[in-house]
Amino acid sequence: MSKDNRTGRRDILKAGALLGAAAPLALSPLGARAAEDAPATVIPTPSVTTLPVVGSDARFPVRRIYCVGRNYLEHIREMGNDERLPPFFFAKHRDMIVQNGETVIYPTLTHDYQHEIELVVAMKSGGENIPVEEALSHVYGYAVGLDMTRRDLQIASRSIERPWEIGKSFEQSAPCAAITPVEQSGHLSNGHIYLSVNGEMRQDADLDLLIWNVPEIISQLSKEVGIGAGDLIYTGTPAGVAAVVAGDVMIGGIEGLTELTITVGPRPDRA
Ligand code: MN
């Protein structure tokens, strides 16, 4: 290799490094262009789950899903837990979301598959250590969700001091209805929250029974992890959780939001 060639190669590398450094800055405001110019992937890139938005043709892309444990006093009592302990968070994955109107397959490993109707907060922005008084400015909107739970596995893991993961984070465990933007719903601190199974009311409460309200939940979560645009926060369930079986139709709602309807499919042979 001649000296000239070496110099040429070095110049190209330098130019490439500059291009590499500059490219994300130049492309970041343009999501579509960034996607076109994204590096090649060795397997197909997994898709981002989205949810419908009330009054819009555009959808809400989901980043992370967090859920609050123990946020209504009567539910804490029905589960036999210490009501003085503060609520805490666990996570589900975005590809566990189920769209409104769909059927969920009865999950594997469990014989006690339970519903938990919840207010879901959809974030348009976030950060770390968000003060309570600023928390609501990061909310995009609200939706009705179900934190589906393999209760037998959750309780078994709890009793041997293992994480709740197996009881909470599994296929189709996070049904969620359309998101209503804050401009239409206002911020929700009270209102009827309910869930019926085959027309019979199982959970029937009011959002004003939340021990930690939405700004407090956001602020607390942001101390533990960075909250980002696209995050969903399931805010905990009121009393009345119970098992569902194949063929059951769950209809859940919150005053002012789109009602969620989910059917339970048959138990697979492998269960
Ligand atoms: Mn829950």
Specify the pLDDT at position 34: 54
Q: Which has the closest alpha carbon to 132: 209, 217, 68, 72? A: 217
Span from the CA of 146 to the centroid of ligand 1 (angstroms): 8
**What spacing in Å lies between the alpha carbon of 145 and ligand 1's midpoint?**
10
Domain assignment present for residue 43? The answer is: no
Co-location of 20 and 102 in the same domain: no
Q: What is the pLDDT of residues 102-140, one digit of tens each?
A: 999 999 999 999 999 999 999 999 999 999 999 999 999
Whether the CB-CB separation of 164 and 154 falls below 8 Å is answered with: yes
* Protein residues within 5 Å, CB atom, of ion ligand 1: 116, 147, 237
* Residue 126 backbone dihedrals phi, psi, to 5 degrees: -175, -135
pLDDT at 82: 76
Q: What total number of domains does the chain contain?
A: 2
Over the stretch 68-80, which tens digit does the pLDDT of each residue have? 988 888 877 888 8
pLDDT at 151: 95
Residue 194: strand pairing partners: 204, 253
pLDDT of residue 35: 58
Is 164 in the same domain as 230?
A: yes
Q: Is residue 145 packed enough to be buried (19+ CB in 10 Å), middle (13-18) or exposed (0-12)?
A: buried
Residues of the chain with pLDDT under 70: 1-36, 84-85, 270-271
What lies within 8 Å, CB to CB, of 187 at 6+ separation is 136, 139, 214
* pLDDT given at position 33: 52
For the entire predicted model, the pTM comes to: 0.84
Both 130 and 204 in a single domain? yes
Note whether 109 and 12 are same-domain residues.
Answer: no
Q: What per-residue confidence (pLDDT) applies to 206?
A: 96
Is residue 28 located within the same domain as residue 56? Answer: no
Compute the distance from residue 73 Cα to the ligand 1 centre, in Å.
Answer: 13
CA proximity to 213, closest of 137, 126, 115, 121: 121
Long-range contacts made by residues 57-60, C-beta under 8 angstroms, separation at least 24? 60/122, 60/140, 60/141, 60/179, 60/230
Question: Beta strand pairing status for 174-176 and 97-99?
Answer: parallel
Cα 234 to ligand 1 centre (Å) = 7
Same domain, 25 and 89: no
54: which DSSP letter?
A: T
pLDDT of residue 155: 92
Alpha carbon of 188 to ligand 1 centroid (Å): 18
Domain of residue 22, residue span: 3-36
C-alpha of residue 255 to centroid of ligand 1, in Å: 19
> What local confidence, expressed as pLDDT, does residue 250 receive?
98
